[in-house]
Amino acid sequence: MFKRMILSFLGILLVLAITANAVAQPNIPRQKIPAGLSPDVRQVVESLSSPDPIERAKAARRLDEMGTVPQSVIPFLVGMLSDDTLIDPLDENTFFMSSEYEVILKTSPARQAARTLINIGESAAEPLIAALKSSDWKSQSAAARILGSIESPRALAPLIAALKNQYWQVREQAAKALGDYNDSRAAEALIPVLNDKEWRVRKQAVQSMGDIEMPNSVAHIIKAMKDAVWQVREEAADALGDFEDPQSIKSLIEALKDQNKQVRAAAASTLGDIADTRALDPLIKLLKDDQWEVRETAAEALGDISDSSAIQSLSSGLKDGTWRVRKAAAEALGEIKDARAVSLLTPTLKDDVWRVRTAAVQALGEIENREAVGPLSRALKDEIWRVRLEAAEALGNIQDSGAVNPLIGTLKDDVWQVRRESVQALGDIEDRKAVGPLCRALKDEIWQVRSEAAEALGDIQDGGAVKSLIGVLKDSVWQVRLEVVQALGDIEDKAAVDPLCRALKDEIWQIRSEAVQALGDIEDASAVEPLIKALKDSNWRVRREAAEALGDIGDIRALNPLMQALKDENKDVRREAASALGEIKQ
């Protein structure tokens, strides 16, 4: 599909390039330029008729950059909407790349003018409405498209009238623009367009009716499922997904037998969105379609419905000859979350394609059954690091202590992302056997791993980690220090009080704030004096947290300082100080 889109895009550019040379540049006589414009604006308007298309495009963009565009200048921009001479992008590096293609995204004076008109908004509506009646179909089409982007209430009736334009390109853009209006009048006006002689217009009408989502449109879109052109039928199947109306189920199921694979796939996808169990058997049968794209979509749809009766059928998809289908089947089993799928997914962990193995690992993590711990532990040694990473995350989801030792082994993985995920998983499992290895991970060369290790130790809340955590309070990366402070607060060990008091002088206010909170959690009286000093911190959030912490500790030494805090410039600090005084006096 991606390759098809790129080839189509290249074809469009080729057609535009062929026709562009026949387009005359806008002719803007100097005597027609309005008087009263500033010299800068007048110079830009004159450039709109430059013989150089690049200069014309730059002038249109310059008007946008200048801010408010005078009303008298807008018609000149509208007059440029047929100037589709293709030029290279005005900005560098504006291109689309893939492994097979590099497509330069061309622009034109007309496109730059359109962008400016869209940004002008409602003020451009009347000149654009007038352009709907111009003699040039390109200007009419562009005006309709821009009016849809602006969503001007004044343009609704003119756009409806444009649905009867002699040019199909204009009718198509008018139908597209009406889709931007959440208005029943637009939906009603689009119904007759489903009989337009041009299939592109019919297709756009269907799409816009789906965008508007008026319930009475469903029956008409269902009729479009019988259109002679497959692109219209495909769009109708997609549009029905916007409504998720059960009355469309029968037509969508019938479309699963359409001669065109795109239509079958679209119908399957929409049935998955609606998630009606009546579609289960037809979708299961579609797993044997002769086109892999259809089989893939059928598997995805079964996952969306998430009914356990599809498990055995999806297991056959795990053996499909196309890896994308196997991947979709694995993902679907993960969405269904039935423990019976564990034994079916386990062999897929040895699939030749790593993306399939990754999907199987993720599915086992979503099922969260302890029977998957062994297979997932073995997946921690997969040759592809992304598989190992997902295996670590899955084991963290299952939270079984049987995964602790295998996860500890991955703390030495060559890829830091795997180490970080393993650390997080150990924190999720919260087994004290991991404390020692996690303390060693506090010295990892990658700060993200050290930060995650501190958080994990805070989750486990074992006092044996306090000494190691204190040693990291001077880490060069402030995010690590922040997690360490939070972890010490979670553990609530009094041995951390003095180091946390020193952290009140950290240059990062977030760390000072967390240190204050941690000291409030520990509730040790030796922290009172440092917390009193924190009432004068330069950051009001720190001062507020200090007031709250002093209230939690409840030491009478804080009374006078808290009374002074009632005069703080910040209302949140004053409010917290008053609350703390109330707690202490009780």
Tens of pLDDT, residues 163-180: 999 999 999 999 999 999
Query: Which DSSP helix (H) or strand (E) runs through 195?
Result: none
Going from N- to C-terminal start, the domains of the chain cover 2-109, 502-586
CA distances from 75 to 32, 36, 70, 78, 129 (A): 11, 16, 10, 5, 11
Contact call for residues 109 and 98 (beta carbons, < 8 A) = no
Q: What is the mean pLDDT of residues 413-418?
A: 98
pTM above 0.75, yes or no: yes
CA distances from 356 to 80, 348, 414, 498, 553 (A): 51, 7, 22, 51, 55
pLDDT of residue 101: 45
Query: Which DSSP helix (H) or strand (E) runs through 129?
Result: helix 125-131
Cα–Cα distance for residue pair 402/404, rounded to 1 Å: 6
Encode pLDDT of 148-162 as tens digits: 999 999 999 999 999
pLDDT-derived band of residue 32, with 50, 70 and 90 as boundaries?
Answer: confident
Over 70: is that where the pLDDT of 96 sits? no
Encode pLDDT of 237-267 as tens digits: 999 999 988 899 999 999 999 999 999 999 9
Over 90: is that where the pLDDT of 28 sits? no
Cα–Cα distance for residue pair 454/457, rounded to 1 Å: 5
DSSP 475: -
Over 90: is that where the pLDDT of 358 sits? yes
pLDDT-derived band of residue 328, with 50, 70 and 90 as boundaries?
Answer: very high
Encode pLDDT of 43-67 as tens digits: 999 999 899 999 999 999 999 999 8
Beta bridge pairs of residue 97: 102
Range with lowest mean pLDDT among 47-51, 298-302, 434-438: 47-51
Residue whose entry in the numeric block shows the structure tokens 């917290």: 576
571 CB contacts (<8 Å, ≥6 apart)? none
pLDDT of residue 104: 52
Query: Which DSSP helix (H) or strand (E) runs through 96?
Result: strand 95-97
Q: Candidates 1.20.140.10, 3.30.70.260, 3.40.50.300, 1.25.10.10; correct CATH number of 502-586?
A: 1.25.10.10
Tokens found for residue 418: 């795997």
40 by DSSP, 3-state: which? helix
107 by DSSP, 3-state: which? strand
Number of Cβ within a 10 Å radius of residue 14: 10
Over 90: is that where the pLDDT of 290 sits? yes
pLDDT of residue 97: 42
| CA proximity to 217, closest of 196, 197, 247, 257 | 247
List, as one string, the DSSP characters of 297-337.
Answer: HHHHHHHHHT-GGGHHHHHHHTT-SSHHHHHHHHHHHHHHT
Over 80: is that where the pLDDT of 99 sits? no
Contact call for residues 491 and 465 (beta carbons, < 8 A) = yes
pLDDT of residue 26: 58
pLDDT of residue 34: 84
Number of Cβ within a 10 Å radius of residue 11: 10
Q: What is the mean pLDDT of residues 525-538?
A: 96
Cα dihedral angle (277, 283, 284, 288), rounded to 10 degrees?
A: 180
Cα–Cα distance for residue pair 363/317, rounded to 1 Å: 14
Q: What is the mean pLDDT of residues 197-207?
A: 98
Q: Is the model more confident about 21 or about 361?
A: 361
